[in-house]
Structures are given as C-alpha cells and as structure tokens.
Structure 1
Amino acid sequence: GPRRAQWLGGVLDMLAAVPSIVYGLFGYQFFAISLGLGFSILSGGLALALMVLPLMIRSAEQALRGVPMSYRQASEALSISRWGWVRRILVPQAAPGIAVGIILSIGRALAETAVLLFTAGYVLRQPDSLLDSGRALSVHIYDLAMNVPGGMPRAAATGLVLVAILVILNLLVRRWLRPAQGAWQ
C-alpha cells in the first residue's frame, strides 16, 4: 500500500545518497570476490548499475506521476484497456522524463571513477571479454592526472572526449524523443 511505497521511496533516496566509494567497496566484495567475477568489466558494470538504479527508479516514478490524471480518465471513457493506457498513453507521455533520468544515470556512471577502481581495475590494454579488467575514460583521466608526470594536458583532452560523448548522447536522445512527444500533443 501507500505506506510500503513511502518506505521504499525513502530507501531509494538513501541509496541514491550513498557515496560512490561505498558502492565500489560493495561491488568489490560482492561481485568481484563473492561471485568470483574478479576485477572485470562485468563487475564494474554491475556495480555501476546498482549505483544508478535508485536515480533511474525515482526519475521514472516522477515522470510517470507527471502524466495528468485527465489522460487516465479519458482513456477509461474511451474504454481503452489498462495495457492500452500504459502502452499508448502513459509511457509515451512519460518518455521524456524517463529519458532524462537515464541520461543523468549514464552521465553519473560515465564520470564515475571510485566504483571502477575497485571493480573493473585500470589496466591499459584492450579487454578480450566482459570478464577481463578494463579502463574507463574517467579512470584514465584520473591515472593521467595523478600518476603520469606531465599527464595533465592529456587528462584534460580525455575529459573533453568524455564531455563530448555525453553531449552527443544527450542530443541523440533528444532527437529520438522528438517524434514521441509530438504524437500526443
């Protein structure tokens, strides 16, 4: 009921506020050690997914709640099934808000370093599989800036590449959403 939903919302808010280093330590212990995945891209990806899940859930919830109740009432008046309401009206109307949550989550994951240092490692070679260690752009920036003498210009250039990826991703999502927005307005 409403009480359980309120409790779950509070738990999600607390999980969203947990520092990324804690997710890194948890990911190392659970994914790398307990599940035996070791320092791998899969361990890093699972830990990042766990870290951004509360943000994605809360943003999707807000987007779905933002759809006017009058749309629901109109669909009931037209005898549209519950599944038809969800598929044809609710999700398309909430899609821009859900996409914003996904973009924010991807941005947080792409910029993350602490989680990946503990789970995916930071070897400087091409991984052969998801179970190999790898190096994300954010970890590469950290390594260049902190461990390579004179590496700051290359770290800044890599940071620019990371920002460019985020901008391109954002533009692609906006372009993809434009037809969906126009369908119901």
Structure 2
Amino acid sequence: MSIFPAEMESERLRYERLHPETVDPFELYEHARADAPDIEAITEYVTWDPYENPKDAFDWVAECGERFEAGEDAIYVLQPMEGDRAGELAGLAGLEPDWDRRLGTLGVWLRTPFWGRGYSGERAGRLLELAFDWLDLDVVAVTHDPDNENSRRAIESYVERFGGRKEGRIRNDIVVDGQPRDSIRYSISREEWERNRSP
C-alpha cells in the first residue's frame, strides 16, 4: 500500500499511477521514443531524454512503481475522460515530496495534441489538492526553463489563480541535453491555496 492514491480524477482528466501493474510500457514507449511524433517539441525543455529502446521504458516504469510504493514520488498517466481522444495517454504528471522540508515539486509533460486545452492548470489544481489535503505538505513549487514560453504562461496562470508567487531565477538548476540551465521557480503555500481554492 502506498501513501499516494493509485487513481484520481479532476473535471476532465483521469490520473492512473505509473506502475508495472497498471501501465503498458510499450504504450509509453510509442509516445516517448526517440522517433515518436513531435518528440523534439515535447522534450525541448525537459530534463529527460526520449527512450532509445523498449527496455528503457520498461525500466523506468518499474522504477516509478518502486518509488510510488516507497512514498518517494507519484507519477501519473493523464487521460482525458471525454471527447475524441478519451482514454488516450495525454502525458505524465508528477508530484515529488521532500518530506523533511514539507515541500512538493510538480512536473508534467503532454503530447502535442493535448497542448492548449488547459490540462496543465487542471492537473496542477488536482495535485495541489493532493499535496495539501492528503499529504499535509506546506509548500508546492514548480519550475520551468526560462526559454519555455508555453510553460511560463501555463504556470503563471495557475500560480496567480491559487495566490502563489514567482520566486525568481535559480542558476544552473537543471540539466538539459547535458548542459546546466537556469530555471524560473514559483511556489504556492498551503495558506495561499486555502484562500484561493475553488469552493
């Protein structure tokens, strides 16, 4: 049994733990392999590389399952619940708690057909609820590459909606394509969340 819920829902999305018991690594491989459609756009600003072979996907799903069970982090497969792409793998969303600091860090990537639909903000609201109401964390943080305008717009929108703030640039915080990069960090506290959460 894990501290994290195995499944969740929000208004339009279903969340299923990334775990060998529930996710087909071949499906993940098809969407995140080195020659997958639009993979260059998807991975331009992220800290992970596309899979070179199916074993990479199998190994990562197994690792995520172990980390989920150990309470180290929660990675979820996102699937729309309605519309022409209902049930498809839209992307992955994660929450990584730092238990000692009572801090959670959000992450997400979406396949390009699911960009511009507001899924990033919807997912953030659901994972903030998980972080504060379920896991009793005090602060949730999120970062983006300074050049990633799509992430900047999405993050600023939901951070403002939930009363959080931009904290600034953290130098050499992430590594992309083997090179250190700055990141822009935002945070939302439990108090800010409570004042601004939807009824």
Q: What TM-score do the two structures reach when normalised by structure 2?
A: 0.26
Structure with more strand by fraction: 2
Q: Larger relative CO (CA 8 A, sep 6+): 1 or 2?
A: 1
Q: What TM-score do the two structures reach when normalised by structure 1?
A: 0.27
Structure with more helix by fraction: 1
- Greater CA radius of gyration, 1 or 2? 1
